[in-house]
Amino acid sequence: MAIKVQMPKLSDTMEEGKILKWLKKEGDKVEQGEVIAEVESDKADMELEAFDSGTLLKVVVPEGKGAGVGQVIAIIGDEGENVDDLLKENGEEKKEDKKKEKDEPKAEAEEKKDEKEEPEEKKEKHDEEPRKETLREDGVIKASPLARRMADEHGIDLKKLDGSGPEGRIVKRDIEAIMEKGVAVEEKPSVAAAEPVAETIELTGMRKAIARRMVESKSTVPHFYLTVEIDMSGVVDMRKKINEMQSENKVSFTDIMIKMAAQALLKHPKVNSYWAEDSIKRRGEINIGLAVALDDGLITPVVRNCDKKGIIQISKESKNFADRARNRKLQPEEYEGGSITISNLGMYDIEEFSAIINPPESAILATGAIVEKPVVRDGQIVVGKTMHVTMSCDHRVVDGAVGAEFLRDFKRMMEYPILTLL
């Protein structure tokens, strides 16, 4: 019996996937659990396994094309089996997507409705009688969508027009009439004319997901921000000594910040929580996300149980995650379930910035460059090394005082690393 192979949901944010490569062609035998295709999700390139054995009878979505989650991408069944009925069903599912191509645009249909509703004898009186008031009681001009669009395209002020449609509504013919009379109207320049487009870049699944998630985060998550300046002299010396003692795995400042953030979360479990609509969930692990920049976006692999690992182990894992993230080889469980995320732009000479929270996490730390500047120590002005850290918090979960206490302890641990041993 022929079965449909549907685009699977390969991440919690995935809505669409793209077929990178079919490893099987039509007519090939397929075993259950065998990899039949490579799929690009919004986070990584994944292998698609067959859930049943049989013959690959039909490839519905070719290489390079995308498909929504749940959409049929292929059909597997017995050799020689007719799949016309399944393809027809798949076609029925797509009817809604093609509706706009077959149906008349709503605006045009509405125009025709306006003209049909108005009696012919009433049209003849338009030139003899004053037009009806074109303003509604709330002051909004009565005009059809098509008329509004035409007026906007040609720079026509609707307030200066009388409507010939039902109840004084401005319709298409009113705009055409004003244009035919040669009224002094200056057409708006098109975007292309004002600013030539050098290139149109097609959106990848990752870029679409980033756009959707960031809009969702800023629209639904009430952000507030806390900033501190940290004396990094102690961490700079500590990192130098660690890397002098072992050269196999160089430790970065981000690795140290991951460890310190984990230790601070141990003291402030309220920050290690997330909003769940009808409740607040507190995580049972301390997992730190690391923002990794990619050519077409970014991804946040998660280093797990950071409170139980040393800095060198964290460094090894973070480098491995970063390398595989850039090659789009991460598995879903490796970039989900973070407590908070650290986003470091110090290597780009950015001194201070605010980051957008990565839902469902409740906080993100934005860290800048380490800058040499005059500081006061023991009443003396000396050259210090400082770094700004801005914490973005979800106010539904993290109150101001809670976030401030967490950031205060993070600052202390960074300035006095020995505190992590106490």
Instruction: Give 178-206 pLDDT, tens digit per residue.
Output: 877 655 444 444 444 456 778 888 888 88
Does the active-site annotation cover 223? no
Same domain, yes or no: 59 and 15: yes
Region 349-374: mean pLDDT is 96
CATH number of the CATH domain containing 385: 3.30.559.10
Largest CA distance in the chain: 97
Looking at residue 139, what is its pLDDT?
A: 58
Same domain, yes or no: 322 and 374: yes
Question: Two tokens at 394?
Answer: 């979800």
For residue 200, being part of any structural domain is answered with no
Question: Two tokens at 391?
Answer: 């914490």
Report whether pLDDT(97) > 80: no
Looking at residue 395, what is its pLDDT?
A: 97
For residue 256, being part of any structural domain is answered with yes
More confident residue, 394 or 9: 394
Residue 220 parent element (H or E): helix 205-220
The tally of CA atoms less than 13 A away on the side-chain side of residue 389 is: 30
The set of long-range contacts for 77-80, using a CB threshold of 8 Å and a minimum separation of 24, is 77/1, 77/2, 77/3, 78/1, 78/2, 78/54, 79/54, 79/55
Report whether pLDDT(166) > 90: no
| Backbone CA torsion sign across 85, 91, 96, 98 | negative
Same domain, yes or no: 378 and 412: yes
- Domain count of the fold of the chain: 3
Query: Which of 137, 157, 191 marks a domain boundary?
Result: 191
Pairing, β 35-40 against β 280-282: unpaired
Cβ neighbours for 367, distance < 8 A, ≥ 6 positions apart: 254, 257, 342, 343, 344, 345, 346, 387, 388, 389
Same domain, yes or no: 44 and 130: no
CA distances from 89 to 53, 71, 85, 248 (A): 22, 11, 6, 58
Report whether pLDDT(412) > 90: yes
Same domain, yes or no: 311 and 414: yes
DSSP state of 8: -
Looking at residue 316, what is its pLDDT?
A: 95
For residue 78, being part of any structural domain is answered with yes
Cβ neighbours for 151, distance < 8 A, ≥ 6 positions apart: 143, 157, 158, 170, 175
CA distances from 240 to 183, 235, 244, 409, 415 (A): 75, 8, 6, 23, 15
Looking at residue 144, what is its pLDDT?
A: 83
For residue 197, being part of any structural domain is answered with no
CATH number of the CATH domain containing 140: 4.10.320.10
Per-residue confidence at 26, pLDDT binned at 50, 70, 90? confident
Phi-psi region of 314 (alpha: psi -120 to 50; beta: other; left: phi over 0): alpha
Report whether pLDDT(102) > 50: no
Same domain, yes or no: 365 and 383: yes
DSSP state of 379: T
Cβ neighbours for 422, distance < 8 A, ≥ 6 positions apart: none
**To 5 degrees, how large is the angle CA 236–CA 240–CA 243?**
140
Closest CA to 55 of 85, 76, 83: 76
Query: Which of 191, 223, 246 marks a domain boundary?
Result: 191
Region 246-264: mean pLDDT is 93
DSSP state of 306: G
Residue count of the chain: 422
CATH number of the CATH domain containing 16: 2.40.50.100
DSSP state of 141: B
| Domain around 209 | 205-421
For residue 362, being part of any structural domain is answered with yes
Same domain, yes or no: 244 and 352: yes
Neighbours of 315 (CB within 10 A): 23
The percentage of the chain sitting over the pLDDT mark of 70, rounded to a whole number, equals 84
More confident residue, 70 or 315: 315
Same domain, yes or no: 326 and 256: yes
Same domain, yes or no: 163 and 240: no
Same domain, yes or no: 310 and 395: yes
For residue 317, being part of any structural domain is answered with yes
Same domain, yes or no: 155 and 20: no
More confident residue, 210 or 181: 210
For residue 199, being part of any structural domain is answered with no
Cβ neighbours for 148, distance < 8 A, ≥ 6 positions apart: 158
Cα-only R_g, the chain: 30
Looking at residue 275, what is its pLDDT?
A: 95
Task: Name the active-site residue from 126, 154, 223, 395.
Answer: 395
For residue 128, being part of any structural domain is answered with yes
- What does the DSSP assignment read for 142-190? -B-HHHHHHHHHTT--GGG--B-SGGG-B-HHHHHHHHHTT---PPPPP
Query: Which of 137, 159, 191 marks a domain boundary?
Result: 191
Per-residue confidence at 122, pLDDT binned at 50, 70, 90? very low
Same domain, yes or no: 327 and 276: yes
